[in-house]
Structure 1
Amino acid sequence: MVPDVAVDFETQIEQNYVFQVKSVHIIKTKIVSPFCKRPVSTRCKIDCSDDVIMELASVQKFEGSIFGLHQFWEYLIVMSLFWISQAITWSLQDPICFDLLNDKPEDFGKQRCWGSISWGLFSVFGGVLVDYFSNSNNQKNYVPIYYLCLIIILWDFALAYKIEITETVGSKNTFSDVFKLITNFNVIIYLIWIIVMGICTSMPWNYLFWYMEDLTRKYHSNKQYWIKTLQGLAIGIQCIGGEMPFLFFSGWFIKRIGHTYCMALGLFIFALRFYLYSIITNPIWILPVEFTNGITFGLCHAVLVSYARFIAPQNSATTVVALSGALFEGVGTSFGGVVGGFLYQIYGGERTFKLFSYGSLIMGIIHIMCIKLIIKSN
C-alpha cells in the first residue's frame, strides 16, 4: 500500500503527534474520509510536501541505548562481513597488479588509477540517482544504489574471473623473515606512518558526508535537496581530480622526492585539508579541497605499496603488502573511526577536524625529525 495522505490538522498529545487523514490512495483507489472499525497497523510510505511534517511523521527519534536495538547489531554484522570481504580483495589486488606488471613496478600507479576513475564516475552518477529518485529533502531513496552495486559486482566478478595469475611460491620462512624485518628502525617508522595515515583517512571516509550535511542544515538549509549530488561530486573530484593524476605520476614523484619525504608530505597535506574543512561554512567549498586527496591517498597509497615491496624479503612481498594493508585499515582506520566518532559527538565537526589538523601537523614534524635522525646516524 502506497498511500497519498492529505493532512487536515495536527495536534500534539503527550509528546505524540496526531494527524487526521482526509484521504488515502490504496493502489489506484482513492478513499475519502477513511474510517476504521478497529485499530489498523500497516506498512505505509508517506509523502508530504512540508519537510517539517514529513520528518515528524516518518523519521524515528530514538533516545535510548543504541546497543539495545536489534537493527544496530544487524547493521554491525553486515558491515563487518562487508569490510572483511573488502580487506581480502584489497590485500590481494595490489600484489596481483605488481605480478601482472612483471619488470615494470613503477607503472603501478598508472594501472591503479583506473580504479579511481571508475570510483569517481560512479560516485557522481550514484549521487545524482539518489537525489533524482528522492521526493523529500529529509528522506533519501537509496534503492537505486543497491541495484547499481549489484550490476557492478556481477560485472566485476566476470572480469576478475578472466584474469590469469601466475602464483609465486612463497618462502618457507616467511613469518620469521617478516618478523626480522619489522624490528628494523626504518621499518618501524614506516609501520607507524601507515597507522597514522589510516587514522587520518578514516575522517573523510566516515565523517565528511555527515559534516557536509551538518553545514547544509546549519548555514544553507534551502539547499538540502541536492546534497547527495554534491557528495557524489566530492567523491568524483577526490578520485578523478585528485587520485588519478597522482597515481599516474606516482612513480615520478617517488623517484624525485623519495618514499620517506612523500610520507611526510602526506601528513602535512592532511593537516592543511583538515584545517580547511574546519573553517568552511558552505559545503560547496569542500569540492576544491578534495583535490588534496590526490596526495593524501593517491600518492601515499602508491608509496605504501611500493615501499612494502621494496623492503620485503624474497618471495614475501604479498605478505608484507597484506600486513601494510591490515595496519592501514584494520588498525588505523578502525581506531580513527572510533576516536573520530567520539570527538565528533562531543565537539562537533569543526573542532574535530581542527584537532586532527593539529595532530597531522605534529606527526609530520616528528616524521621529518626521524628521517633526519636516520640520515645522521647513517
Structure 2
Amino acid sequence: MSHTKKAAFLSFFYFFHFGTLGIFIPFVALYLKHNGFSGKDIGLFITVISIIKFLLTNTWTKTYNKIKSKTVFVITAILVSNVSVILLLSKNYLLTFLTFIIYAVTRVGILPVMDHISNEFSRESGIEYGKIRMYGSIGFICFTTFTGLLVDYFSINVFITMTILTGFLSAITILFIKLENIERAKYKQDSNKLSFDFKIILIASILHYISLTFFHNFLNIKVEYLNESQTIAGTIWSIGIFAEILLMFFSNKLFKKISPFTLLIFSMFLGGVRSLVIGYAESAMVLLFINTIHGFAFGTFHLSIIRYIKDYIAAESRLKAQSFYSSLIYGLGAIFGSILSGYLFDFVGVNHMFMIGSIFSFFATIILLLYRKKFLLKYQL
C-alpha cells in the first residue's frame, strides 16, 4: 500500500474514532443527569473508565503486540466498546456501572496502538503526524455538532444510537489498514525504564489533565446552567476543536521554531486560563470565545508529548512510552479529575468547580517552568 493510501485510511480511522468520542464525551454526563444520576454518580461512572485505563492500558498493548490476528482483535474491541452503550437505556445503576467497565476494558489500548502506528508511519513516510491526527479533531467537531442538533430535535437518548453507528464505521477502516502488515514493536527489558525528563512531563501532564477532565465532563452542564441549548454546546466544542485542527495542521512549522517542552508549558498555562474564565463566564458568547484556546489547552499539549516520544525516546521503547502516557494521563489524571469534579459540582457548583480546576493547570505550568532550563540544556535546544 502506498504512503498516501495508508495515510488516508489512518485519517479515516481517526475521523470516526474521535467521532465516537465527540458523541460520548460531551453527552454521556448530560444523559446520566437527565436520568436522575447525581454529579457524584456521574463522576464515579466516568472514573471507572479512567481506573481501567490506568490499570490495563499496558496489558492491552502488550496483548496486541503478541497476538497474531491484530486486525480482528482491534475491530472486535471497537465494536464491543461502542455497542455496549446500549445498556445505558436500562437506566439501572448496576447495568450502567457494567456498561462503563465493558466500554473501558475493550478500548483502552486502541488509541495508544493507533497513535504509535501513526507516529512510526510519520517517521517512515515524512507525513506529519499532526496532519493525520487532525482528522480525529474534524470527526469530533462533525459528530459533536450533529449529535447536539439531534439531541435538541429528538432527545438525549439519540447519543446512544449515534455512538453505535459511528463505532461500526470506525471498525471498517481497520480492515483497510491491515495491522498484521505493520512491523511489531519489540519490547526489551530496558523499555520499562522512563527517563527523568519524561517522568517530569508525565507528572505535570497528570495535573493538567485533571483540569481538562473538569472541562470534558461538565462543559455541557455549564451550558445548560446558562439556559442555552445543546446545539450551542456543540458549537462551543466545535470552535475549540477547529482551533485544534489549525494547530495540528501547522504543527510541523511550530516544532521547527519551538521545542515540545516549551510548547507544553504554554499549552498548560492557557488551559488554566480557559478553566478560570469558564468559571466566571455568565454568557455563552464568553464560552465561545475562550474555547478557541482549546487548540493549545489540549491540541498542542497532546502533540508535544507525541513529538517528545518520537524525537527523544528509543524506537523499542516508544509503544511502551505511548502506553504510559495514555494510562497515567488519561487514566490516573482522569481518575482524580472525575472524582474531584463530581464532588465539587455537588458541593460548590459548576462555576467554582471550574475555578478550582484552573489551579491544577497553573501548578503543572510551574513544575515545567522550574525544569525548563535543565531540559533545554540537556538537549541543546
Give TM-score scaled by structure 1 length.
0.72
Tell me, yes or no, if structure 1 residue 201 matches structure 2 residue 225.
no
2:55 alignment partner in structure 1: none
TM-superposed CA distance for 1:293, in Å, is 0.9
Instruction: Decide whether the 8 Å contact of 1:131 with 1:228 is kept in 2.
Output: yes
Instruction: Decide whether the 8 Å contact of 1:260 with 1:371 is kept in 2.
Output: yes
TM-superposed CA distance for 1:168, in Å, is 2.5
1:310 alignment partner in structure 2: 311
1:191 alignment partner in structure 2: 202
Instruction: Decide whether the 8 Å contact of 2:207 with 2:360 is kept in 1.
Output: no
- Which amino acid is the alignment partner of residue 127 of structure 1? G
Aligned-residue Cα RMSD (Å) equals 2.6
Alignment equivalent of 1:235, drawn from 216, 237, 255: 237
1:187-266 aligned within 5 A = 187-216=198-227, 223=228, 227-239=229-241, 241-266=242-267
TM-superposed CA distance for 1:373, in Å, is 4.4
Task: Measure the CA separation in 2 of the matches of 1:193 and 1:259.
Answer: 14
TM-superposed CA distance for 1:262, in Å, is 1.0
Task: Measure the CA separation in 2 of the matches of 1:235 and 1:266.
Answer: 18
Tell me, yes or no, if structure 1 residue 329 matches structure 2 residue 350.
no
- Residues 100/71 of structure 1: CA separation in 2 closer, same or farther (3 Å cut): same
Tell me, yes or no, if structure 1 residue 293 matches structure 2 residue 308.
no
Instruction: Decide whether the 8 Å contact of 1:168 with 1:315 is kept in 2.
Output: no
- 1:204-245 deviations in Å (ceiling 9; x for gaps): 1111112222232xxxxxx5xxx1111111221122x22111
Instruction: Decide whether the 8 Å contact of 1:215 with 1:282 is kept in 2.
Output: yes
TM-superposed CA distance for 1:310, in Å, is 2.5
Task: Measure the CA separation in 1 of the matches of 2:91 and 2:140.
Answer: 32
Alignment equivalent of 1:168, drawn from 177, 183, 186: 183
Task: Measure the CA separation in 1 of the matches of 2:35 and 2:137.
Answer: 36
- Residues 375/311 of structure 1: CA separation in 2 closer, same or farther (3 Å cut): closer
2:103 alignment partner in structure 1: 82
Q: Decide which structure has greater strand share.
A: 1
- Which amino acid is the alignment partner of residue 279 of structure 1? Y
- 1:2-32 deviations in Å (ceiling 9; x for gaps): xxxxxxxxxxxxxxxxxxxxxxxxxxxxxxx
Task: Measure the CA separation in 1 of the matches of 2:254 and 2:163.
Answer: 34
1:8-19 aligned within 5 A = none
TM-superposed CA distance for 1:107, in Å, is 0.5
Task: Measure the CA separation in 2 of the matches of 1:364 and 1:357.
Answer: 11
Task: Measure the CA separation in 2 of the matches of 1:60 and 1:266.
Answer: 36
Aligned identity (percent) is 21
Bigger RCO (CA 8 Å, 6+ sep): 2
Tell me, yes or no, if structure 1 residue 365 matches structure 2 residue 379.
no
- Residues 189/270 of structure 1: CA separation in 2 closer, same or farther (3 Å cut): same
Instruction: Decide whether the 8 Å contact of 2:272 with 2:361 is kept in 1.
Output: yes
Give TM-score scaled by structure 2 length.
0.71
Instruction: Decide whether the 8 Å contact of 1:271 with 1:359 is kept in 2.
Output: yes
TM-superposed CA distance for 1:78, in Å, is 0.5
Task: Measure the CA separation in 2 of the matches of 1:60 and 1:338.
Answer: 19
- Residues 98/170 of structure 1: CA separation in 2 closer, same or farther (3 Å cut): closer
Q: Any unmatched runs of 5+ in structure 1?
A: 1-58, 134-140, 217-222
1:153 alignment partner in structure 2: 167
TM-superposed CA distance for 1:105, in Å, is 5.5
Q: Any unmatched runs of 5+ in structure 2?
A: 1-33, 45-89
- Residues 60/156 of structure 1: CA separation in 2 closer, same or farther (3 Å cut): closer
Instruction: Decide whether the 8 Å contact of 1:267 with 1:364 is kept in 2.
Output: yes
1:179 alignment partner in structure 2: 192
Instruction: Decide whether the 8 Å contact of 2:186 with 2:316 is kept in 1.
Output: yes
1:345 alignment partner in structure 2: 346
TM-superposed CA distance for 1:268, in Å, is 0.6
1:275 alignment partner in structure 2: 276
TM-superposed CA distance for 1:172, in Å, is 5.1
Q: Secondary structure at the match of 2:226?
A: helix
TM-superposed CA distance for 1:125, in Å, is 0.9
- Residues 105/365 of structure 1: CA separation in 2 closer, same or farther (3 Å cut): farther
Task: Measure the CA separation in 1 of the matches of 2:182 and 2:97.
Answer: 35
Task: Give the number of aligned pairs.
Answer: 297
Instruction: Decide whether the 8 Å contact of 2:148 with 2:233 is kept in 1.
Output: yes
TM-superposed CA distance for 1:285, in Å, is 2.4
Task: Measure the CA separation in 2 of the matches of 1:62 and 1:148.
Answer: 22
- Residues 373/285 of structure 1: CA separation in 2 closer, same or farther (3 Å cut): same
Q: Decide which structure has greater helix share.
A: 2
